[in-house]
Amino acid sequence: MSVQKVPLETIQKIRQYIKSSLSLPDSENHPRSMASMDELDNLPEPDSLSDLGDLFNFGSSMEATTFAPNVRGQWFISSTDPGAALLKLPGLKLQPEMRLVGYLYRLSDDGIGMIWAVPENLSTTSQLEQALETSGDRTQPPRPAGALDDPMEAIRGDNSAAAYVVASILQRELREFGALGKSCNWTHHRLIGAVPPQATWQWRVEMPKDFSPKVKIAPDGKVVLEFFTCRVMAPVTIYQHIDHYAANSYKANSLDRPIAIAKR
């Protein structure tokens, strides 16, 4: 079994690129439920009662549109193309005739997202909107027709160590897509290559001797990838991440376990 160490800086750059590619416009991160007072102030003065009625309708038109960005706890389609994250990443690509699509759920300052891999011929706006009709609260996201169970099932690669490093970061960023407020998790993790010296740590397991990211590729094509992060939100915690990949697959069986907690 060959073992390859991966520079921490390389993974950090990969993560930053993916995060940038998956970034959302402010109109979807923090949609307004109605026109602001500033917008109303800038509207022309009405010349008739009919125009006055149109003025009041301006603020409610988007409220009546279920599929538009909203903060009412109703799912809507994101304009961001999650597949763009794969354009410049080494070793991975989206399977031909597949597309990644995203949905968002917003409620005040909290929110989540969902990414699906769907056949390109089933990814039109009208088809994606059909899934919204059967969606519910945050526990019942829309699932478009033809969607795969996991978007990583639509990913293909060159079986290199770099490809699996990218896959491990990509799957976590896809899961974090659209997360806001208390729904954020992976966002609070920082990649580390050594024990952070800013805290005194209480270890739950024996402290690892080597914190460098590593990829182990077996002769049968199975892959194990290990890396570490520090969760910077309380409780501040060091995590060990171990991803197992079957041969020629980029869908990981992941173990994310806390191994040390910062003493107060």
Distance in angstroms (rounded) separating the CA atoms of residues 32 and 44: 21
Element (H, E) at 224: strand 223-231
In a domain, 224, yes or no: yes
The reported pTM is 0.87
Query: What is the structure's pLDDT at 138?
Result: 94
Q: Could you tell me where the DSSP H helices lie in the chain? A: 8-21, 26-29, 37-41, 49-61, 125-132, 161-175
pLDDT at 65: 47
52 occurs within a structural domain: no
Strands (E), 174-219: 189-192, 201-203, 214-217
Q: How many domains are there within the chain?
A: 1
CA-to-CA dists, residue 235 to 2, 66, 126, 153, 179, angstroms: 36, 38, 44, 33, 19
Residue in the structure block whose two tokens are 């903060």: 71
Q: Among 121, 123, 161, which residue's Cα sits nearest to residue 144?
A: 123
Query: Are the beta carbons of 238 and 260 closer than 8 angstroms?
Result: yes
Asked if residue 227 belongs to a domain, the reply is yes
- Average pLDDT for 59-82: 77
Give me the helices (H) in 104-160, please: 125-132
**Each residue of 141-165: pLDDT tens digit?**
999 999 999 999 999 999 999 999 9
Is residue 61 in a domain?
A: no
Write out the residue range of the structural domain in which residue 196 sits: 2-30+71-262
What integer best gives the mean pLDDT of the chain? 89
3-state secondary structure of 186: helix
Q: 38 in a domain, yes or no? A: no
d(CA 7, CA 14): 11
Tens-place pLDDT, residues 4-45: 999 999 999 999 999 999 999 999 999 975 444 344 455 565
Over range 177-197, report the average pLDDT: 97
- Our separate counts of H helices and E strands in the chain read 6, 12
What span, in angstroms and rounded, lies between the C-alpha atoms of 147 and 117? Answer: 5
pLDDT of residue 62: 40
> Is 90 strand, coil or helix?
coil
CB 75 within 8 A of CB 107: no
Measure the N-to-C terminal CA separation of the chain; round to a whole number of Å.
41
Beta carbons within 10 angstroms of residue 189's beta carbon: 21
Res 46: pLDDT: 57
Is 192 within the bounds of a domain? yes
Does residue 212 fall inside a structural domain?
yes
Q: Is residue 227 very low, low, confident or very high in pLDDT (cuts 50, 70, 90)?
A: very high
pLDDT higher than 50, residue 63: no
Within a 10 A sphere around the Cβ of 21, how many other Cβ atoms?
19
138 domain residue, yes or no: yes
pLDDT of 53 higher than 70: no
